[in-house]
Structure 1
Amino acid sequence: MWFRNIHFYRFEDPFDLTGQQLHEALAKHPARDCGQMELFSEGWARPLGRDGQMLVHETNGCLMFCLRREDKLLPASLVRERVDEQAFAIEQQQGRPVGRKERMEIKDRVLQELLPRALVRSSHTYAYIDAKGGWLIVNAASAKKSEELIALLRKTLGTLNVVLPQTDLSPEAA
């Protein structure tokens, strides 16, 4: 597997967990399917897919792992349309305008109705730790995806002191 979109983070403190210790920590937050009423779920998956048995693949002193996230796909336009329909029906039946608070309650009911039937999109974000070099390398197309992985890793491990590397020159100037 090739990493195409790399985000580098430098460890401020030495990373001293072994592959087995990291596996045991990640096993506390395994990937699972999205529940009926959840907008998303996230957890750690096997980086080698069905071929792997561990949540960490260790090679050449590096530890590779994978975040799996499932998101329910509910187009905002569909939700808005259903809310507008129900608000219009109330206005017609009761002859009064629907207020903001009532509109939010309608939206909650619509979400409860649509969530169990929503399509689910699954995504994987891979990363590896080079403990000797002091790097966390995340393969993510956006900083947001990278931060999601770091946030869950921080929650899983209890602490994770990583920072973006500081350079004297910008990449464009080099």
Structure 2
Amino acid sequence: MRSKLLIAALVLTPSLAFAHGGAPGHTHSFMDGVLHPLNGLDHLLAAFAIGLWAVVSGMRRPWLVPLTFVAAMTAATLAGASGIVLPRAEWMIAASVMALGLLCLFAPRLPVAAGMAIAALFALAHGYAHGSEGDASTPYLAGLIASTAALHVAGMASGYLALFAERPALARLAGAVIAVGGVFVLVA
């Protein structure tokens, strides 16, 4: 009964009541930055997958992969906000989600340097999209970085939980779902 009431309340709530809906007065605040990666399936899946993949692939120092993603994404966000153009960025984002899903699914053993290079490449497209969609003010960028890092940590935690519970198939299943999400992003 409670879940039915919650669903009814959410369905009947006007979209203008939500914190980030593109409503007039969009300010690019810290919370706008936090919510930006959470509002797009492509960015949400990619950020989660980076953390998951870094763990399930068995890389040494897996934290370097998400750290590289955040650094490259930040630089690309600033570049996108400054007007630099990256052709086919949306296609690259969808391809990165599919590729990250497949990397989580098959978990190939790669050196951490290769993982960092892949993360940086994918982060360029994601960061560019973040920057080209709005300004790169300090509060917005800080929120964007915090949210992306939190998604990386969630992915890493999920990977560790799957490995420690001796259920690597769960991580592979998550990878398959992420790859399918990438296909959805590409055709949507």
TM-score w.r.t. length of structure 1: 0.22
Q: Which structure carries more relative contact order (alpha carbon 8 Å, separation 6+)? A: 2
Larger radius of gyration: 1
TM-score w.r.t. length of structure 2: 0.21
Query: In proportion to residue count, which structure has more strand?
Result: 1
